[in-house]
Amino acid sequence: MLKSKGFTLIELLIVFAILAVLAALIIPRYLHHLELAIDATHQANCRTKYFEYALAVYEAKGEEAEVPTLVDCTITATQSGEKITSFSCDFGSGKIFSAPDFQK
């Protein structure tokens, strides 16, 4: 009897086909979660810039400054590459609070 020391071509093709199907199922989900993570990072960066700007307004105007809060706030950001270039925050009262090209 001849003992086989390796895999046949059919066995290898079946394994590669299974791996291809698994990759086709997993890669889109991974990319979707990667996109969600990037969006969450952008939102966090925008909130950080908002607080930096609000603190700068407060420091410039003193205790009389009316620094808006994040209550009922929708943040919109404009991004250029890895950097947020501007953002605005729509507060429930209809006012738009904006800080284009704010530099710390």
pTM of the entire structure? 0.44
- What pLDDT score was predicted for residue 24? 96
Higher pLDDT, 76 or 10: 10
Q: Which residues contact 84 (CB under 8 A, 6 or more apart)?
A: 42, 45, 46, 49, 77, 78
| Tokens encoding 56 | 């700068």
Q: Which residues contact 96 (CB under 8 A, 6 or more apart)?
A: 88, 89, 90
Quick one: pLDDT band at residue 11, thresholds 50, 70, 90? very high
- What pLDDT score was predicted for residue 64? 65
Are 65 and 54 in contact, with CB atoms under 8 Å apart? Answer: no
Encoded amino acid at 3, one letter: K
Provide the terminal-to-terminal Cα distance of the chain, rounded to the nearest Å. Answer: 79
